[in-house]
Structure 1
């Protein structure tokens, strides 16, 4: 083997090792959180349990803005309605400026909503969620199948009694980049 070939093999093996280490450190079986998580787009959390297909997160105290519970015939219709309410809050119906891509850490916190449907929610001291990532569109069958998978995954852990099996939250906030769109998370609280 020539020196050039050995050099190329060495560089290739270094790249493979680095890629594997990066995947291990990111959790979710190598598909861990996008690099911007816990910086701008994602609420601050600590992973307290991680498996290949899901993780248990502890969220720190925070004020979040939430749309009302939306009753619709499909998940897509609910996301559209709730998203419209929150979009209006961020861009029109509030008493101040809201930076939609970053945390509002100024004095007094986030602006007060002018729409009664939008509510500021203070999370309790610690809030836990079982989280499963779904790459794909908001399609009822896809979402519901992943909710079932997460519920079944939790049944074989010590967290099986800590979740409410009747409710789930569908979250779209982990934007990897503009081309790929949003990652979708399913929470069982």
Structure 2
């Protein structure tokens, strides 16, 4: 049985998302140890690995790098609309 999770409005956010936004997905198969999910086509960004003393510091550094990128600190100096 597949479970559809859609959009930002009117859907029940999965528990594993906590206070964060989640990309919409469809559960294809669910087992005790894992889920197989299907995600809609999306654009994702990533950064190089970040060395840090803690996960919290690394996450903050990574967020700042990616936030600067979408705000226009990129090779085309273009702000990315989300």
Q: TM-score range by the shorter chain?
A: 0.5 to 0.7
Structure with greater proportional strand content: 1
TM-score normalised by the chain length of structure 2: 0.54
Q: Could you say what the CA RMSD is over the residues aligned between the two structures, in angstroms?
A: 3.2
Q: Which runs of 5+ in 1 are unaligned?
A: 1-24, 35-40, 103-189
Measure the CA separation in 1 of the matches of 2:63 and 2:24.
Answer: 22
Measure the CA separation in 2 of the matches of 1:87 and 1:50.
Answer: 34
Number of the residue aligned with 1:68: 48
Q: Which runs of 5+ in 2 are unaligned?
A: 6-11, 15-20
Q: CA deviation at 1:58?
A: 2.4
Q: Deviations over 1:119-152 (max 9, x none)?
A: xxxxxxxxxxxxxxxxxxxxxxxxxxxxxxxxxx
> What is the SS of the residue equivalent to 2:44?
strand
Number of the residue aligned with 1:43: 23
Structure with greater proportional helix content: 1
Tell which has more relative contact order, 1 or 2 (C-alpha 8 A, sep 6+). 1
> What is the SS of the residue equivalent to 1:46?
strand
Measure the CA separation in 1 of the matches of 2:34 and 2:4.
Answer: 12
Task: Report the number of matched residues.
Answer: 66
Pair member with larger Rg: 1
Matching residue within 70, 73, 82 for 1:90:
70
